[in-house]
Chains A and B, each alone.
Chain A
């Protein structure tokens, strides 16, 4: 399995500013994902974080708004840029596929970052 931590756990930000969320895993993983959960809604995938290359974004999400980095197999960041109140959500990091490949099949989630934009 994998233990995931996220920083910060919550934040209150002013519109127009940016926030970078960190995701740290206690072991190497193949896949890392970022999800968003707007108030009262289910989870929506933002992008797949690819090690050493650009992230793969889902429809409706763009790199300029949600730049993502993944420098190695245990760490990723998501930045929410030029924030507006509509960005108020819980942002969750998820990991899947232990290294070596096949060591486990489950996908695990971090504790989430609760963002409020004023």
Chain B
């Protein structure tokens, strides 16, 4: 498995603003997953995007994938204080394979 590198390390915004975080990886993938972790708790699965997909939506989340640049982005629109959390990307090789995590992006949304 390979590790995704999230950028920025920390992001601070006001409620209602959009938040964009990026993920880069090094080698080709089958899919890429995004997760959210609230302080001290388990990871919540947000979205999986396959290597043949360029964009995927889920509620206020929009994920893009550019395999030529080996990068992905997660956009959270109209952010809320409850979106405050750490966000991780996980590039996937073979299906069901183990995942390697970077340090994540710490998002703080101020009311």
Question: B residues near A, CB below 8 A?
Answer: 31, 33, 35, 40-45, 48, 50, 88, 90, 92, 95-104
Contact = CB atoms under 8 A, between A and B. Distances in A.
Q: Is the interface of A mostly helix, strand, loop or mixed?
A: strand
Contact of B98 (A1, A30, A33, A105): A33
Contacts of B96: 30-31, 96-97, 105, 107
A96 B48 CA distance: 12
**Nearest 8 CB-CB pairings of A with B:** A97-B96, A109-B43, A111-B42, A96-B96, A112-B42, A43-B101, A31-B96, A42-B101
Interface residues of A, number: 25
Contacts of B43: 43, 92, 94, 109
Given A31-B96, A42-B88, A45-B98, A110 B42 contact: yes
Nearest to A6: B42
Contacts of B44: 109
A54 B35 CA distance: 29
Contact of B45 (A31, A90, A106, A112): A106
A94 to B, nearest CB: 8
